[in-house]
Amino acid sequence: MEKLRIGISCYPTVGGSGVVATELGKQLASRGHEVHFITTEIPFRLDDKVYPNIFFHQVEVNQYAVFKHPPHDLSAASKIAEVILTHDLDLLHVHYAVPHAICAILAREMSGKDIKIMTTLHGTDITVLGFEPSLRPLIRYGIEQSDIVTAVSYDLARQTNELVRTDKPIQTVYNFIDEQVYYPKQVEQLRACYGLSETDDIIIHISNFRPVKRIMDVLKTFQLIVKSRDAKLLLIGNGPELPIARQFVEENDLTNDVLMLGNQKHVAELLSMSDLMLLLSEKESFGLVALEAMACGVPVIATNIGGIPEVVEDEETGYLCSLGNIEEAAAKAISLLADDQKRQAFKRAALNRVKQSFDSQHIVSQYEHLYEAMLKEE
């Protein structure tokens, strides 16, 4: 296809939407497109090597003392408008309706150029902010003024139409992972480095430790598991509920069994030494970490909510449980950990599913086709 100049706005920090936006930008650049990230910081997945046709334009937020709240969104709009003109962008692909679609729409007005805008919805702007009456009209505006809107799961597309009360067609494009990074790695020695024995079951949870991730459910499920298995829990990530997690671990005599590793760069290695992932969130539009786990051959025990069932296949690549049912999650984890054959079968099925349904090249092509269609629209 014709080479495009694409502006991307996203949250550049650790988090699924930023990861997907950055990986997409890298893939588009490798296909010869010119990619312009317009963000407050260099996206954290962009620091692994030099990408000659990727540009970074920093949004600098004005700290003028009169502003009680620094106007990030206005600074972002202004920077996007500048980049539209100076780099003659063909289209904007923004991640999150609020704020990025709104910033893009304002930038389009400011630039005076009728540039096309694609908005990808990732979840929390809809499933959390969509309940906020003061924000719902703004989210609806961002969606309806975008030329094409995509969501990362069918469930999120459905919830958006319902919650935001819009008839705007929303296309589902699944997330993907970089298969060069996420695959089962040979990490036998790593277990020993973390003081884990050959016979320990390694359970992993990765998140931003926000309340929606239900970290207490993860810990209580683990507490049930550890009563009948020699198991260790790896907690990866950082966030507001980490202190209460730490307190629970200390108060329940789990300090030797729970390793809190904070944010980590080489997650594929940590996944590869794990036997099972727990993802017991109450909201999850997709669950990128579940896909990362499956790509490393790790079965996932997850809640049957949001977009998770579109990623984790119940009784094939893991198990789905009802929200808050820690007994169910623990029983399923224990039965899987006790059955080597089944775990190997789940591992094969997980690797297969990633290839069949979440192939990065296929998904990037889906985005390219949508760009083409959008640019043809009058």
Q: Which is nearer to ligand GMT, 122 or 343 (CB)?
A: 122
Neighbouring CB atoms inside 10 A of 251's CB total: 9
Q: Which is nearer to ligand GMT, 119 or 124 (CB)?
A: 124
Q: How far is the CB of 255 from ligand GMT (least distance, A)?
A: 26
Using CA atoms, how far apart are residues 303 and 43, in angstroms rounded to an integer?
Answer: 29
Q: The tokens of 321 are what?
A: 């449980």
Q: How far is the CB of 135 from ligand GMT (least distance, A)?
A: 16
Q: How far is the CB of 169 from ligand GMT (least distance, A)?
A: 19
Q: How far is the CB of 237 from ligand GMT (least distance, A)?
A: 9
Bridge partners of 36, per DSSP, are 7, 55
Of 70, 21, 61, nearest in space to 44 by CA: 21
For residue 99, cis peptide bond before it (omega within 30 degrees of 0): yes
Q: Which is nearer to ligand GMT, 212 or 270 (CB)?
A: 212
CB neighbours of 212 closer than 8 A, spacing ≥ 6?
Answer: 124, 128, 281, 282, 283, 284
Q: The tokens of 349 are what?
A: 């099925």
CA distances (Å), 258 to each of 34, 227, 231, in order?
44, 14, 9
Q: How far is the CB of 366 from ligand GMT (least distance, A)?
A: 15
Q: Which is nearer to ligand GMT, 19 or 81 (CB)?
A: 19
Q: Which is nearer to ligand GMT, 349 or 363 (CB)?
A: 363
Using CA atoms, how far apart are residues 312 and 67, in angstroms rounded to an integer?
Answer: 45
Q: How far is the CB of 79 from ligand GMT (least distance, A)?
A: 21
Q: Which is nearer to ligand GMT, 146 or 175 (CB)?
A: 175
- Which H or E run contains 76? helix 72-86
Q: Which residues bind ligand GMT (CB under 6 A)?
A: 15-18, 20, 122-124, 127, 152, 175, 208, 212, 283-288
